[in-house]
């Protein structure tokens, strides 16, 4: 189904090109008075139905940590969000009963990329078949795994994708912020490891996130758009107050300079279904856990219901026209309402 | 004979002086700002549990839901303008009616200027004004903008309670013999309680307008004293598990306390899922709180609450 012409006497003529170039994405088309709208997500199922019979999205999380942070930071991650990963590994330079995995890398900022390389190699060697998606987080990252699962459910883990908070500089296709956490599909992980095996990828820099981004580009892994259907960010490299507090119109503050997609300040910054915040330690971790999973306004009907609601657009232009051929880069402009 | 009479007179005199002293001390008692405000709650009001609510039919629930309307009385001052502006932009939007009463006018924001510098007198005037203009509203929430409130949870607490009964709820504390609701975590009054309060305002002996002259009681203790005369007593607002809903501390403070007290169960040991108020947060933290309360959640979790509250019109941060 490509094109629909709706003629409604006396009102609007709208043409719709609906989801036809998105191979694995189900399309929901409904009529609401004079507007036909498109929702790229299936209203019924969000579990991937790609070839296999219904299987849930399996996520393996690995936390970049070290001996001196286990008590002060990593312990609290273990008490809170790490439990929601299908599998979690704590990567360190020392093996302990925490339990931590010993990578043959010393601690220190300059070794972060070595740690990342060794961690992914370890996971590829020992745990590849246990998950579909592989998440890296720091020991001061807070993640909401259910929301990660939701975002990933419409993507094929056998395709080379990776997601996170997309940054622009240094790498042509950009790279994902390390602090905000990033996710590799199973195919992306295979290619990363193959890159190092073949020498196509090297340890050319100690900047872990940027260097990994270069390897992704070299191995033709695509950066996917992690924003929600309203174009709001899900991965955040800083705590919530950096984004949510209302600001007068101003040039980008320093912590938003690298953003690939034009950042929004104030309530429109962030998706309801946030995936991560960074620089979250101790008390703050539990506070976010409480706000996300416990404290709620009783009976409140949330405004944002991507399953129920139809995404209404009221222009007479084509409602959905991806500017790139790739289905993933949905919003290639800054006008999203 | 004379010596016996002398002893008798001395005895009488001592007894008399002793009695006088006792009665003077006794009348001083309520004024003492006790450092040992305790939390023994002889009176408490709990939110209705699921079983209790399930007993109502759908139409009964609808009726209850439509009837529980909250009038917010927010006491502001220009010196806390940032909090005032934040309350206006955040939680107060969820009140069915929100009126800001100020100590003095400012060009920056609009409010009812009660033209009254004395805190207690100003509170009295605000309460009287709210009562006179109550209309259909039957529940009243009094707070300063330094408090953050979740009005839906307040409605949930009083949902099945009759506002024609006197309710005076919040974070109930004790100062000596007086049990009072702490101002900084919000005060809830039913229509009947407010009605009795406004009536006793006219009694200068029981409830003087300028407060007691010799010592200055804080407004919340004055309020409790006046209400006590009308037979209305402070009650601690709790969820169906007995956890307090009105907090004089911020989420952060409470969580830090819980990390010390319950290191193996920090979040569960901290605060209620349906907490109504927190205090001690900065204006920026309140903006983050709006997101945390009204938007941030894990996809796929459904609480199956037994009634529905709609989001307010024309608001973009909830």
- Concatenating the DSSP letter of every residue in A130-185 gives G-SEEEEEETTEEE-HHHHHHHHTTS-TTS-EEES-EE-SSSTT-EE-STT-EEEE
Model confidence at B43, pLDDT cuts 50, 70, 90, reads confident
In terms of C-beta density within 10 A (0-12 exposed, 13-18 middle, 19 or more buried), how is residue B108 classed?
Answer: exposed
CA angle B156, B161, B162 (to 5 degrees): 140
B8 or B116, higher pLDDT: B116
| B310 Cβ neighbours under 8 A, 6+ residues apart | A301
Chain B contact set for A292 (CB, 8 A): 292, 296-298
For chain B, say whether A144 makes contact (Cβ under 8 Å): yes
Sheet arrangement for strand A182-185: A101-102, A87-92, A59-64, A133-138, A182-185, A161-163, A222-223
Chain B contact set for A291 (CB, 8 A): 251, 289, 292-293, 296
Cβ–Cβ gap B156/A298 under 8 Å: yes
Q: Which two tokens mark A294?
A: 């416990």
Chain A contact set for B300 (CB, 8 A): 146, 150
For chain B, say whether A143 makes contact (Cβ under 8 Å): no
Region B49-64: mean pLDDT is 89
Residue of B275, B284, B309 lying closest to A300 (CB–CB):
B309
Q: Give the model's pLDDT for residue A153.
A: 93
Q: Give the model's pLDDT for residue B17.
A: 78
Q: Give the model's pLDDT for residue B210.
A: 77
- Secondary structure of chain B as H, E, C letters: CHHHHHHHHHHHHHHHHHHHHHHHHHHHHHHCCCCCCECCCCCEEECCCHHHHHCCCHHHHHHHHHHCCEEEEEEECHHHHHHHHHHHHCHHHHCCEEEEEECCCCCCCCCEECCCCCHHHHHHHHHHHHHHCCCCCCEEEEECCCEEECHHHHHHHHCCCCCCCCCEEECEEEECCEEEECHHHCEEEEHHHHHHHHHHCCCCCCCCCCCCCCCCCCHHHHHHHHHHHCCCCCEEEECCCCCECECCCCHHHHHHHHHHHCCCCCCCCCCCCCCCEEECCCHHHHHHHHHHHHCCCCCCCCCCCCCCECCCCCCCCC
Residue of A nearest to B251 (CA): A287
- pLDDT digits (tens), chain A, 337 positions: 444 444 444 433 333 444 444 443 444 444 433 333 444 433 333 333 333 334 679 999 999 999 999 999 999 999 999 999 999 999 999 999 999 999 999 999 999 999 999 999 999 999 999 999 999 999 999 999 999 999 999 999 999 999 999 999 999 999 999 999 999 999 999 999 999 999 999 999 999 999 999 999 999 999 999 999 999 999 999 999 999 999 999 999 999 999 999 999 999 999 999 999 999 989 999 999 999 999 999 999 999 998 875 544 433 333 333 333 333 444 443 333 3
Residue B206 to residue B249: CA distance in whole angstroms: 32
Q: Give the model's pLDDT for residue B32.
A: 40
Residue of A150, A274, A296 lying closest to B273 (CB–CB):
A296
Residue of B nearest to A151 (CA): B299
Q: How many CB pairs under 8 A join A and B?
A: 136
Angle at which helix A186-198 crosses helix A208-218, to 10 degrees, equals 90
Chain B contact set for A43 (CB, 8 A): none
Element holding A282 (H helix, E strand): helix A282-293
A165 φ, ψ to 5°? Answer: -95, 110
In terms of C-beta density within 10 A (0-12 exposed, 13-18 middle, 19 or more buried), how is residue B272 classed?
Answer: buried
Residue B239 to residue A296: CA distance in whole angstroms: 13
C-alpha distances out from residue A137 to A62, A279, B83, Å: 6, 11, 36
Element holding A91 (H helix, E strand): strand A87-92
Residue A328 to residue B150: CA distance in whole angstroms: 38
Chain A contact set for B292 (CB, 8 A): 240, 288, 291-292, 295
**Taking the CB of residue A199, how many other CB atoms lie within 10 A of it?**
7
Task: For residue B74, give how far its alpha carbon lies from the nearest alpha carbon of chain A (Å).
Answer: 20
Calculate the average pLDDT of chain B: 90
Cβ–Cβ gap B287/A246 under 8 Å: yes
Cβ–Cβ gap A303/B318 under 8 Å: yes
Task: For residue A128, give how far its alpha carbon lies from the nearest alpha carbon of chain B (Å).
Answer: 26
- Residue B264, pLDDT > 70, answer yes
Residue B32 to residue B237: CA distance in whole angstroms: 25
Chain B contact set for A299 (CB, 8 A): 65, 152, 155-156, 305-309
Residue B83 to residue A118: CA distance in whole angstroms: 50
CA-CA-CA-CA torsion for A239, A240, A241, A243, nearest 10 degrees? 110
Residue of A nearest to B318 (CA): A303
Chain B contact set for A241 (CB, 8 A): 284-285, 287-288
For chain B, say whether A61 makes contact (Cβ under 8 Å): no
Cβ–Cβ gap B298/A294 under 8 Å: no
Residue A240 per-residue DSSP state: T
For chain B, say whether A141 makes contact (Cβ under 8 Å): no
Residue A323 to residue A329: CA distance in whole angstroms: 8
**What is the value of ipTM here, to two decimals?**
0.86
**Taking the CB of residue A86, how many other CB atoms lie within 10 A of it?**
16
Model confidence at B145, pLDDT cuts 50, 70, 90, reads very high
Q: Which domains does chain B have, with CATH numbers?
A: 43-294 (3.90.550.50)
A4 φ, ψ to 5°? Answer: -130, 135
Q: Give the model's pLDDT for residue B25.
A: 56
Residue of A nearest to B272 (CA): A295
Angle at which helix B219-229 crosses helix B119-132, to 10 degrees, equals 50
Mutate to test the interface with B, among A295, A301, A303, A307 (most CBs of B within 10 A): A295
Mutate to test the interface with B, among A299, A301, A303, A304 (most CBs of B within 10 A): A299
Say if residue A5 is preceded by a cis peptide, omega within 30 of 0. Answer: no
* pLDDT tens track for B198-255: 999 999 989 988 765 556 789 999 999 999 999 999 999 999 999 999 999 999 999 9
Q: Give the model's pLDDT for residue A136.
A: 98
Q: Give the model's pLDDT for residue B40.
A: 52
Cβ–Cβ gap A147/B299 under 8 Å: yes
Mutate to test the interface with A, among B295, B301, B305, B315 (most CBs of A within 10 A): B295
Nearest to A69 by CA among A108, A115, A105, A116: A108
Mutate to test the interface with A, among B95, B281, B299, B315 (most CBs of A within 10 A): B299
Model confidence at B9, pLDDT cuts 50, 70, 90, reads confident
Task: For residue B264, give how far its alpha carbon lies from the nearest alpha carbon of chain A (Å).
Answer: 8
Residue of A241, A290, A298 lying closest to B152 (CB–CB):
A298
Nearest to B233 by CA among B183, B170, B167: B167
pTM over 0.80: yes
Residue of B288, B293, B311 lying closest to A241 (CB–CB):
B288
Residue of B259, B310, B317 lying closest to A283 (CB–CB):
B259
Cβ–Cβ gap B267/A80 under 8 Å: yes
Nearest to B239 by CA among B270, B190, B268, B275: B275
How would you classify the pairing of strands B235-238 and B44-46?
A: parallel
Residue of A145, A241, A299 lying closest to B284 (CB–CB):
A241
């Amino acid at each position: 189904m490509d094109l629909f012409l709706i003629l409604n006497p006396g009102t609007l003529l709208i043409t719709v090109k609906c989801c036809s170039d998105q191979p694995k994405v189900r399309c929901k088309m409904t009529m609401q008075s004079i507007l036909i709208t498109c929702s790229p997500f299936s209203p019924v199922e969000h579990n991937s139905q790609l070839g296999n019979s219904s299987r849930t999205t399996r996520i393996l999380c690995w936390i970049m940590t070290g001996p001196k942070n286990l008590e002060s930071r990593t312990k609290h991650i273990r008490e809170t969000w790490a439990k929601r990963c299908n599998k979690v590994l704590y990567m360190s330079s020392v093996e302990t009963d925490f339990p931590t995995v010993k990578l043959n890398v010393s601690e220190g900022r300059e070794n972060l990329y070595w740690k990342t390389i060794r961690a992914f190699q370890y996971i590829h060697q020992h745990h590849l078949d246990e998950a579909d998606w592989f998440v890296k987080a720091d020991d001061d990252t807070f993640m909401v795994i259910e929301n990660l699962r939701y975002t990933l459910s419409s993507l094929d883990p056998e395709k080379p994708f990776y997601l996170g908070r997309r940054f622009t500089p240094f790498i042509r296709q950009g790279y994902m912020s390390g602090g905000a956490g990033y996710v590799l599909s199973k195919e992306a992980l295979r290619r990363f490891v193959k890159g190092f095996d073949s020498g196509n990828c090297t340890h050319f820099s100690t900047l872990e996130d940027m260097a990994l981004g270069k390897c992704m580009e070299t191995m033709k892994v695509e950066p996917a758009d992690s924003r929600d259907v309203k174009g709001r960010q899900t991965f955040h490299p800083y705590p919530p107050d950096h984004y949510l507090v209302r600001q007068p119109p101003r040039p980008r503050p320093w912590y938003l300079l690298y953003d690939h997609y034009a950042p929004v300040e104030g309530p429109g910054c962030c998706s309801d279904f946030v995936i991560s915040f960074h620089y979250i330690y101790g008390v703050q971790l539990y506070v976010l856990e409480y706000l996300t999973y416990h404290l709620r306004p009783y009976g409140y009907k949330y405004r944002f219901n991507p399953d129920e609601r139809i995404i209404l657009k009221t222009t007479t232009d084509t409602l959905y026209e991806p500017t790139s051929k790739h289905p993933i880069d949905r919003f290639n402009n800054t006008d999203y309402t | 004979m004379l010596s016996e009479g002398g002893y008798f007179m001395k005895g009488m005199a001592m007894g008399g002086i002793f009695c006088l002293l006792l009665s003077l001390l006794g009348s001083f008692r309520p004024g003492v700002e006790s450092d040992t405000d305790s939390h023994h709650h002889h009176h408490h009001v709990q939110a209705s549990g699921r079983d209790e609510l399930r007993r109502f039919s759908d139409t009964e629930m609808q009726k209850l839901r439509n009837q529980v309307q909250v009038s917010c009385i927010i006491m502001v001052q220009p010196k806390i303008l940032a909090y005032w502006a934040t309350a206006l932009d955040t939680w107060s939007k969820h009140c069915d009616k929100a009126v800001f009463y100020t100590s003095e006018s400012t060009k920056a924001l609009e409010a009812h200027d009660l033209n009254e510098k004395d805190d207690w007198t100003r509170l009295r005037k605000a309460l009287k004004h709210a009562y006179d203009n109550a209309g259909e509203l039957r529940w009243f929430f009094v707070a300063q903008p330094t408090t953050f409130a979740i009005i839906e949870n307040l409605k949930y607490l009083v949902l099945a309670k009759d506002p024609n009964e006197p309710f005076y709820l919040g974070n109930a504390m004790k100062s000596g013999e007086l049990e009072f609701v702490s101002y900084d975590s919000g005060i809830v009054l039913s229509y009947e309680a407010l009605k009795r309060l406004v009536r006793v305002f006219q009694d200068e002996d029981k409830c003087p307008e300028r407060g007691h002259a010799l010592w200055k009681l804080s407004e919340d203790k004055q309020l409790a004293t006046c209400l006590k005369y009308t037979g209305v007593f402070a009650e601690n607002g709790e969820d169906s598990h007995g956890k307090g809903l009105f907090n004089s501390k911020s989420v952060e403070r409470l969580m830090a306390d819980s990390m010390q007290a319950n290191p193996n169960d920090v979040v569960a040991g901290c605060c209620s899922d349906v907490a109504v108020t927190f205090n001690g947060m900065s204006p920026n933290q309140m903006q983050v709180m709006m997101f945390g309360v009204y938007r941030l959640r894990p996809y796929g979790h459904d609480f199956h609450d037994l009634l529905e509250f709609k989001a307010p019109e024309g608001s973009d941060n909830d």
